[in-house]
Amino acid sequence: MRDRGIALKLALLIIPITIAIFLFILGYYYNISKNTIIKNVEENSRNLALNAVNKIEKSLKTFELVAENLSYFVQSSNYTKNELLSMIETAVNKNKEIYGSTIAFEPYSFQRDSLYFAPYFYKGENNIRFTYLGGDSYNYFNWDWYKIPKEQNKSLWSEPYYDKGGGEIVMSTYSVPFYKILNRENKFEGVVTADISLNWLSNIVKSLKISKSGYGFLISQNGNFITHPSKQLIMNESIFSIAKSKNSLKLKEMGNKMMSGKSGFELIDGILSDKKYWIYYSPLPSNGWSLGVMFPEDEIMADINNLSKDAVLISIEGILILLLVIIYISRSITMPLRKLSEATKDIASGNLEFDIPEIKSRDEVGNLSRSFEYMRSSLKKYISDLKETTAAKERIESELKIARDIQMGIIPKDFPPFPGRTEFEIYASIEPAREVGGDFYDFFFLGDNKLFFLIGDVSDKGIPASLFMAVTKTLIKAVATSTDKNLSEIAYKTNNDLFSDNKMSMFVSIFFGILNIDDGEIIYTNAGHNRPFIIKNDGSVLMLEKTDGMALGVFENAKYGINKVRLNFNETIFLYTDGITEAMDENSSLFGEENLKQKLKECSSFKAEEIIIHINNKVKEFVGDEPQYDDITMLSIKYLNNSEKKLEIELKNEVSELDKLNNKLAQFWNEHNLDSEELGHINLSLEEIITNIIKYGYNDDLEHTIKVVIKLNGTQKLQLEIIDDGIEFNPFEHPAPDTSKSLEERDIGGLGIHLVRNCMDYFNYERENNINKVVMVKNIGQKII
Amino acid sequence: MESNNETQENISLLRLKGKLDFITSSEFEQKFNIMVNEGGKKFILDFSEVSYMSSAGLRFLLIASKKTKGKVVLFGVNDAVKQVIEIAGFVSMFKFSSSQDEAVEILTKN
């Protein structure tokens, strides 16, 4: 899915950034909120704490005032016992916060006979109760509330204690020492006390409204818990013992700060639980106690945490919506793109006949779609134009090809062209530069032993040149074969014929010659063509002598001279067109005549075909990758007639003559040192052919002569000619017998010729001037001595 | 040309000598016909001294085979002659042996 790709890319790009932004905002908001909340909590807790402190302090001041008043009274006036008791009772009765009060005298100070004197009024359930403190079980002189003010000579609050034998509750006592002035010295007389019930204090602290599970507590100047929601802590544990057991340095430090009368706001470990608490602590200036207000952190943070959770949920929902939007947008982009992509595939596969999906949007995709439509219609137009021009070009090319086929068709291209002739080898090649060139060659026999050959080059290329060439070739062959003219006359006549109808002023350079097969003599005429070379037996290469005459078709009645040269056994004449000598390499230098001559020197031992292949390779090497500018045409004739290795026998038409033939052949075999195994095949073939002639060739009883010519030529080819004047009979036109038939079905006829076919490499029959001529060729090896 | 006949258990031996060509094969054919007329039914043809054979020799072999209904064994056939028989497609029609004894054995069995 193509759109998924783009959606994925967009999502991968946008979603993380969005998440990061959300996270940043959330974090920032969370921090700010948290700080604000904590500030609020601090404010709140300070207010709570200070309120509570004020309230307690106010009460404590009341205690202190009452106690101070009593002590003033005791020191400054005379009073009776009853007045004293009444005063104490009034103080307790009038001040509802005060649990109890006493005035405790030094031993024997108030009453000479009484060790203890400490009348104590305290609050019962419904009334004021009275008792005298002191006794064996209650030696108040040793109690802190008495002893410490006495020792320190100042008013102070005691540590909380359980007043066993006195008030019988947990309390703290404010003690004011009083003195009697004796000899200008203050003599300690006792203490005035006011008791405060810790229960009462607890209730005050409890009344503080501190969130859901928050609470307040009081500790004494030693750190002992005075009030705490957990009763077991009161009087039993101190802030320091808790800090120790929890191994909390922070708690201990906070304890020290509380003890030294400081106030503060801190995050600490919980006193009983492991929960974190925010605490505000503040001292009670009167007695050095400290009030702590605890706020559980999780509770404080609960709201903001819930808020954050909601924010995260909303963010996730937002991101999901964003994702849907991304998918929607990318789809709206890619749907048309995908349609376009499908359409492009169709274009790529060559189908231009469909409609590009119409996309109406005015955005880039719409533009793309319109561009595609434009491309499609342009392509369609271009292709239809191209088809037209291609068709036109193909028509021309097809005409050129037809012309080339005509040209190549009239040039002999099957080699060897005369397999029955072992006296020479001939080979030629033509490689047109364009489809139709102007080069050509030809060769044909004039009679039995004269080979006419030519090579030519028309002055132009293309169809006109090829037609001119065809005309030239046809004219020459017609003139040469139909009349008894010599070469000079052939050239003269052809020139005039070409001249008369030559409206396009074309001309043709041409070399032609006649090779006499019997003696190797060549008579030739050169009409303005490159002069051929002769490769001699000694490896030298000669250029043929000049003859008079210019290219055919130039001037009317032009004269052409002739010349002669002789090929010896194994020598070659090599004809070519200027496509060879004017072949160009990449530096535009020419292959050249001298270079060709040098290359031909390497060819003296080559066969006719090998010479042409060799020169062709050398030209290709020289030219490299350069294009071929001109036709390249070559013709080579190697003369192989070895007149010394020839046997001619004349036989009468009698079977007994075969022995004579056998004997002569055996002698010839010995003379030329030939492989005797081949002799059997030759004997067999001659016997079969000659027996046939003797048996079926004559319908009279006259004596006839059968001529047998045996030639052994240069390439160890044995050429057999059997000539007779019998009735026309082609032994090779009968089909070969079916040698797979069984004995009973077999007919004896045709077996002899079948043997000949299998023994010989070439065989041919022709009849001319009432003469039958059978030619057979056999490749034979030299006898290995 | 030379031929010889030795009869042994209805087996005739024809010894061929020299060339088997257009001239000689008719002479061998005459000889063979006489032997058939005298009751010869199985033939051994000794080719040990035949150096050359043409289609006329093949014709003789074909006639010999037809007249004896295939009861002909050749032995001592040289390569050149064997080649001619092969070209003509006659190899499957005749039995070849390397010696006279073997030829007798082949004919006795059939």
Does some domain include residue B45?
A: yes
Whether residue A412 is preceded by a cis peptide bond, meaning omega within 30 degrees of 0, is no
Q: Which residue of A has its CA nearest to B20?
A: A684
* Total tally of structural domains belonging to chain A: 4
Do the chains contact at A755 and B55, CB–CB below 8 Å?
A: yes
Q: Each residue of A439-474: pLDDT tens digit?
A: 899 999 988 889 999 999 888 777 777 788 888 888
What gap in Å lies between CA A177 and CA A179, rounded to an integer? 7
Contact B59 A677 (CB under 8 A): no
Asked if the model's pLDDT at residue A183 lies above 80, the reply is: no
Same domain, A560 and A422: yes
* Residue A562 domain flag: yes
CB A117, CB A110: distance < 8 Å: yes
User: Confidence class of residue A748 from pLDDT cuts 50, 70 and 90?
Assistant: low
Tell whether A366 is covered by a domain. Answer: no
For chain A, give the percent of residues with pLDDT over 70: 96
Paired residues of A218 in beta bridges = A227, A291
pLDDT in tens, B76-109: 888 888 888 888 888 888 888 888 888 888 888 7
* A47 alpha carbon, distance to own chain's centre: 72
- Mark whether A612 and A737 lie in a shared domain: no
Which strand (E) or helix (H) includes residue A384?
helix A364-410
| CATH code, A541 | 3.60.40.10
Residue A597's pLDDT band, with cuts at 50, 70 and 90, is very high
Q: Are residues A237 and A192 in the same domain?
A: no
What would the mean pLDDT of A497-505 be, rounded to a whole number?
81
Distance from CA of B89 to the nearest CA of A (A): 5
Helix (H) or strand (E) holding A236: none
CA distance A596 to A473: 26
Structure confidence at residue A366 as a pLDDT band (50, 70, 90) = confident
A502 Cβ neighbours under 8 A, 6+ residues apart: A553
**Same domain as A655, residue A724:** yes
pLDDT tops 80 at residue A704: yes
Q: In what order do the strands lie in the sheet with A572-576?
A: A424-431, A632-639, A572-576, A533-535, A541-543
Kindly state the tokens that stand for A641: 């007639």
- What per-residue confidence (pLDDT) applies to A136? 79
- Residue contact A739–B80, C-beta within 8 A: no
Residue A620 domain flag? yes
- Which pair of structure tokens corresponds to residue A29? 């908001």
Query: Under 8 Å CB-to-CB from A371, ≥6 apart: which residues?
Result: none
Q: Is A742–B93 a contact, with Cβ atoms under 8 angstroms apart?
A: yes
Q: Which domain holds residue A563?
A: 411-639
Single-letter residue type at A303 = D
Q: What is the CATH number of the domain that holds B65?
A: 3.30.750.24
Please tell me whether residues A192 and A205 are part of one structural domain.
no
Instruction: Pick from B1, B19, B20, B22 the residue to mutate for testing the A interface (most A CBs within 10 Å).
Output: B22
Alpha helices in A222-296 (DSSP H): 239-245, 249-259
Domain for residue A18, yes or no?
no
Cβ(A682)–Cβ(A665) below 8 Å: yes
**Rounded-to-10 torsion of CA A317, A323, A327, A333:** 120
Beta-bridge mates of residue A306: none
List b or e across A356-369, with b for residues whose CB sees 16 or more CB atoms inside 10 angstroms: beebeeeeebeeeb
Domain span at residue B87 reads 7-105
State whether B23 and A740 contact (CB < 8 Å). no
> By C-alpha distance, which of B8, B13, B21 is closest to B73?
B13
- Domain harbouring A72, CATH code: 3.30.450.20
Whether A345 has a pLDDT exceeding 90, the answer reads no
Residue B54 lies in a domain: yes
**Residue range A225-240: average pLDDT?**
85
Question: A680, B89: Cβ pair inside 8 Å?
Answer: no
Are A718 and A765 contained in the same domain?
A: yes
Tell me the pLDDT tens digit for each residue of A391-435.
888 887 777 777 677 777 788 888 889 888 888 999 999 887 765
B2 domain residue, yes or no: no
B45's enclosing H/E stretch is strand B42-53
Domain termination site, one of A590, A605, A639:
A639
- What's the rounded Cα separation, in Å, for the pair A190 and A109? 9
Among B16, B24, B87, CA closest to B50: B16
pLDDT value at position A747? Answer: 59
Q: Do B54 and A752 touch (CB under 8 A)?
A: yes
For residues A126 and B39, give the distance between their C-alpha atoms in angstroms, rounded to a whole number.
178
Statement: residue A744 has pLDDT above 60: no
Across the interface, do B88 and A687 touch by the CB < 8 Å criterion? no
First CA to last CA distance, chain A: 85
Q: Which single residue is written with the structure tokens 């240069």?
A: A714
- Find the mean pLDDT for residues A658-677: 85
Q: CB–CB of B23 and A687 under 8 A?
A: no
pLDDT at A610: 93
B29 touches chain A (CB under 8 A): no
Residue in chain B lying closest to A685 (CA): B54
Distance CA A643, CA A711 (A): 8
The tokens describing A195, both together, are 């008791």
Return d(Cα A159, Cα B70) in angstroms, integer. Answer: 154
Read off the DSSP letter of residue A532. P
A402 domain residue, yes or no = no
Quote the pLDDT of residue A540.
92
- Please indicate, yes or no, whether residues A654 and A568 belong to a single structural domain of this protein: no
Q: Is A288 left (phi over 0), alpha (psi -120 to 50) or beta?
A: left
d(CA A412, CA A764): 19
Q: What is the CATH number of the domain that holds A735?
A: 3.30.565.10
Do the domain assignments include residue B66? Answer: yes
Contact A536, A574 (CB under 8 A): no
What's the confidence (pLDDT) of residue B2? Answer: 46
Contact B56 A691 (CB under 8 A): yes
User: Do residues A208 and A185 both lie within one domain?
Assistant: no
| Res A671: pLDDT | 86
Q: Which residues of A touch B52 (CB under 8 A)?
A: 680, 683-684
Same domain, A603 and A461: yes
For the CA atoms of A279, A284, A287, A291, what is the dihedral angle to 10 degrees?
-30
Instruction: Locate the chain B residue with the closest alpha carbon to A746.
Output: B62
B18-42 pLDDT tens trace:
888 888 888 888 888 888 888 778 8
Q: Is B24 part of a structural domain of the chain?
A: yes
Distances (CA, A) of A393 to A396, A399, A401, A407, A682: 5, 10, 12, 21, 59
Q: Is the pLDDT of residue A655 over 70?
A: yes
CB B22 to CB A754 under 8 A? Answer: no
Q: At which of A256, A276, A300 does a domain end?
A: A300
* Residues of chain A found within 8 Å of residue B66, distances taken between Cβ atoms: 743-744
Position A471 scores a pLDDT of: 86
* Pair (A592, A692) in one structural domain: no
CA distance A684 to chain B (A): 6
What part of B 68-97 touches A (C-beta under 8 Å)? 70, 80, 84, 87-90, 93
Residue B33 covered by a domain: yes
- CB atoms closer than 10 angstroms to residue B38: 10
Asked if B56 reaches chain A (Cβ–Cβ under 8 Å), the answer is yes
Give the residue from A169, A197, A225 where a domain finishes: A197
- Per the structure, the count of domains in chain B is 1
Q: What values do phi and psi take at A302, rounded to 5?
A: -55, -45
Average the pLDDT over A360-381 and give the result: 80
Helices (H) and strands (E) in chain B, counts: 4, 5
In terms of domains, do A583 and A722 share one?
no
Pairing outcome for strands A156-157 and A508-516:
unpaired
A559 and A653 together in one domain: no
* A550: amino acid identity, one letter: M
Nearest to A683 among B52, B56, B90 (CB): B52
Q: Other C-beta atoms within 10 Å of A489: how many?
A: 16
Please tell me the predicted confidence (pLDDT) of residue A439: 87
Query: B23 to chain A: which residues are within 8 Å by CB?
Result: 655-656, 658
